[in-house]
């Protein structure tokens, strides 16, 4: 459902889609549950405030408590949550109708003033919200309350992708933020969702408990425990032993064991997530494009997909794949050619070798440890001495957000959450985003202009040209693959639907 000009409200075709976060037409009570549902992911959340922190490790937990205005269903169709309808009043003004009668989990009413507060909190220049990458004062001039159930977003100019950028933005409670303060709110936010944050024990778990007064009816699963284990084998062992009900990033070599388990099954879906190696182009040796090209020729991504991922990924030539609007089908990936890599390195003055640092992590992506080790090995074959360091995922994210001279290579990925080129390009390759280790004025201009272009054809062509420049001319990354998400699931969990945007939504799920 793509917003268009005019005064017709945008509504879903099926009522069931309106209830994606666990709402049902008839009230329910939480079902009896013999033990908590246990979800294990690869790393601990940074924050549970879904209006301040992006990233699926955070949002898959926090959005159960703090709901967005709209979301995607498992087929990536826009469906309403707290906003029941939306329309463009003119090319730069969107009006949203809010669901009436909704209350936060502390009993205070959800009103348009809370929506305004959420946006004002983000577009404040002093804000540290990660959502400022694409929701900021350059995009939104004002959030205006019309009445308790109507809010208008007045933009600085056309922004056709706006609604898609709202799918993961949780609405904050103005009263609760004032009462608790930002620091306490980020650990235990008050939202309108089907769950409440019961506890967050740092380094151990987050516990969600059912919101019995949820506007859509109390969820059937009374309590959910979120844990984090970065070692693949340990996550799988917990699932097979019955101590976990859902694990993320199931390693491909464990698929058969999980499929054959008496009480377990495998769920999979093509993912929007693209995996690549970011290169620090702001210092030697990777400030030389010949070295960056050499590194691309040196790495055999196809072999890694076959050998390490058992085919559970698709090769991509650039920083996102064909599921994302703006993809350029004319681009071709670098072919494995170690001799060409050696020649380029020699031309760049590194015929006797060179040294680079490489920061990576474990447990976030399919076979991330093995992939990182393979990349280091491929580079070493062409004369590159690689210092591979495995650090916490949050450490790598710190490097992404703030430049570090320690970094030469970073294992990185992007979820492409809104299925639009704007998300990845504005976030990671734009100087006004976090183009930390590379940006380019010409590409900057294409990204910014495309973001405000109402003509979809023109916008697509601009993104395709930006991708061409990034991939064929400047080469700031080593593109690897678009992964296929694999989940290990206990058969007692019913109603969990996998989604290409990596979202985990358990509001409608049940246990048997």
For 152-174, how does the pLDDT look when each residue is reduced to its tens digit (9 = 90+)?
999 999 999 999 999 999 999 99
pLDDT attached to residue 16: 39
Q: Residue 327 and residue 106: Cα distance in Å, rounded? A: 44
Q: Place 363 in a pLDDT band, splitting at 50, 70 and 90.
A: confident
Question: Based on the domain organization, do 199 and 305 belong to the same domain?
Answer: no
Q: Residue 18 and residue 34: Cα distance in Å, rounded? A: 30
307 within domain boundaries: yes
Residue 394: count other Cβ atoms within 10 Å of its Cβ: 14
Determine the average pLDDT of the residues in 180-189.
96
Question: Based on the domain organization, do 213 and 307 belong to the same domain?
Answer: no
Number of domains in the chain: 2
Question: Based on the domain organization, do 201 and 281 belong to the same domain?
Answer: no
pTM: 0.83
Q: Please report, for the domain that includes residue 208, its CATH number.
A: 3.40.190.10
Question: Based on the domain organization, do 93 and 189 belong to the same domain?
Answer: yes
Determine the average pLDDT of the residues in 261-279.
96
pLDDT attached to residue 327: 97
pLDDT in tens, 427-457: 899 998 887 899 999 999 999 999 999 899 9
Question: Based on the domain organization, do 34 and 170 belong to the same domain?
Answer: yes
pLDDT in tens, 18-69: 444 443 333 334 444 579 999 999 999 999 999 999 999 999 999 999 999 9
Q: What are the CB-based long-range contacts (under 8 Å, 24+) for 125-134?
A: 127/52, 128/52, 129/51, 129/52, 129/53, 130/52, 130/53, 130/54, 130/55, 131/51, 131/52, 131/54, 131/169, 133/54, 133/426, 133/427, 133/433, 133/434, 134/165, 134/422, 134/423, 134/426, 134/427, 134/433
CA distances (Å), origin 359, targets 30, 152, 191, 400:
44, 44, 36, 11
3-state class (DSSP) for residue 188: coil
Higher pLDDT, 90 or 11: 90
3-state class (DSSP) for residue 169: coil
Structure tokens at 336: 């494995």
Question: Based on the domain organization, do 430 and 316 belong to the same domain?
Answer: yes
Q: Percent of the chain having pLDDT more than 70?
A: 94
Does residue 100 carry a pLDDT above 90? yes
Q: Residue 303 and residue 370: Cα distance in Å, rounded? A: 12
Question: Based on the domain organization, do 330 and 217 belong to the same domain?
Answer: no
Determine the average pLDDT of the residues in 461-484.
97
Q: Residue 73 and residue 1: Cα distance in Å, rounded? A: 12
Residue 322: count other Cβ atoms within 10 Å of its Cβ: 12
Question: Based on the domain organization, do 171 and 296 belong to the same domain?
Answer: no
Q: Place 141 in a pLDDT band, splitting at 50, 70 and 90.
A: very high
448 within domain boundaries: yes
pLDDT in tens, 404-432: 999 999 999 998 989 999 999 998 999 98
Q: Please report, for the domain that includes residue 423, its CATH number.
A: 3.10.105.10
Contact by Cβ (8 Å): 333, 316: yes
Q: Percent of the chain having pLDDT more than 90?
A: 87
421 within domain boundaries: yes
Question: Based on the domain organization, do 281 and 391 belong to the same domain?
Answer: yes
pLDDT attached to residue 17: 39
166 within domain boundaries: yes
pLDDT attached to residue 33: 57
254 within domain boundaries: no
The mean predicted confidence, pLDDT, of the chain is: 92
Does residue 300 carry a pLDDT above 90? yes
pLDDT attached to residue 32: 46
pLDDT attached to residue 454: 87
Contact by Cβ (8 Å): 297, 337: yes
Does residue 2 carry a pLDDT above 60? no
Contact by Cβ (8 Å): 99, 215: yes
pLDDT attached to residue 466: 98
CA distances (Å), origin 96, targets 16, 81, 86:
20, 11, 4
Q: Residue 364 and residue 57: Cα distance in Å, rounded? A: 9
236 within domain boundaries: no
Higher pLDDT, 375 or 23: 375
Q: Place 388 in a pLDDT band, splitting at 50, 70 and 90.
A: very high
pLDDT attached to residue 432: 85
**CA-CA-CA-CA torsion sign (495, 267, 54, 179):** positive
* Cα of 153 vs its chain's centroid, Å: 24
Question: Based on the domain organization, do 392 and 285 belong to the same domain?
Answer: yes
3-state class (DSSP) for residue 320: coil
77 within domain boundaries: yes
512 within domain boundaries: no
Question: Based on the domain organization, do 157 and 290 belong to the same domain?
Answer: no
Question: Based on the domain organization, do 201 and 313 belong to the same domain?
Answer: no
Does residue 110 carry a pLDDT above 70? yes
Structure tokens at 377: 């090995």
Structural domain harbouring 469: 272-484
């Amino acid at each position: 459902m793509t917003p268009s000009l005019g005064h017709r409200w945008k509504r879903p075709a099926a009522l069931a889609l309106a209830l994606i976060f666990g709402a049902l037409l008839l009230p329910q009570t939480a079902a009896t549950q013999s033990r908590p549902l246990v979800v294990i992911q690869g790393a601990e959340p940074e924050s549970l405030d879904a209006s301040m922190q992006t990233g699926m490790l955070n949002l898959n937990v926090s959005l159960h408590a703090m709901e967005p205005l709209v979301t995607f269903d498992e087929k990536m169709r826009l469906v309403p949550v707290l906003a029941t309808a939306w329309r463009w009043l003119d090319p730069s003004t969107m009006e949203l109708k809010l669901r009436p009668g909704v209350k936060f989990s502390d009993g205070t009413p959800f009103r348009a003033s809370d929506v305004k507060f959420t946006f004002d909190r983000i577009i404040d220049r002093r804000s540290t919200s990660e959502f400022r990458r694409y929701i900021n004062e350059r995009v939104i001039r004002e959030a205006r309350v019309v009445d308790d159930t109507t809010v208008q977003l007045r933009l600085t100019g056309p922004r056709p992708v706006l609604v898609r950028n709202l799918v993961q933005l949780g609405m904050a409670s103005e009263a609760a933020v004032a009462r608790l303060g930002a620091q306490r709110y980020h650990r235990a936010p008050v939202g309108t969702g089907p769950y409440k944050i019961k506890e967050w024990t740092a380094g151990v778990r987050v516990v969600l408990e059912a919101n019995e007064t949820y506007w859509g009816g109390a969820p059937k699963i009374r309590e959910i425990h979120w844990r984090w284990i970065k070692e693949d084998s340990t996550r799988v062992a917990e699932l097979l032993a019955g101590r976990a009900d859902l694990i993320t990033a199931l390693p491909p070599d464990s698929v058969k064991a999980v499929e054959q388990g008496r009480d377990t099954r495998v769920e999979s879906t093509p993912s929007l997530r693209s995996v690549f190696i970011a290169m620090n182009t702001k210092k030697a040796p990777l400030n030389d494009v010949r070295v960056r090209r050499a590194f691309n020729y040196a790495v055999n991504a196809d072999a890694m997909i076959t050998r390490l991922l058992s085919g559970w990924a698709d090769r991509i030539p650039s920083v996102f794949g064909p599921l994302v609007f703006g993809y350029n089908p004319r681009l071709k990936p670098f072919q494995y050619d170690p001799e060409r890599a050696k020649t380029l390195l020699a031309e760049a003055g590194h015929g006797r070798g060179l040294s680079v640092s490489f920061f990576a992590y474990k447990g976030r992506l399919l076979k991330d440890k093995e992939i990182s080790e393979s990349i280091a090995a491929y580079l070493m074959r062409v004369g590159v001495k690689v210092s591979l360091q495995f650090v916490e995922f949050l450490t790598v994210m710190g490097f992404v957000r703030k430049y570090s001279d320690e970094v030469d290579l970073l294992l990185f990925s992007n979820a492409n959450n809104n299925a639009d080129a704007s998300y990845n390009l504005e976030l990671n390759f734009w100087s006004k985003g976090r183009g930390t280790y590379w940006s380019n004025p010409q590409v900057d201009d294409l990204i910014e202009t495309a973001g405000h272009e109402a003509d979809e054809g023109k916008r697509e062509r601009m993104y395709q040209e930006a991708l061409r420049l990034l991939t064929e001319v400047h080469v700031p990354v080593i593109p690897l693959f678009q992964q296929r998400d694999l989940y290990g699931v206990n058969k007692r969990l019913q109603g969990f639907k996998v989604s290409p945007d990596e979202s985990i939504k358990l509001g409608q799920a049940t246990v048997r």
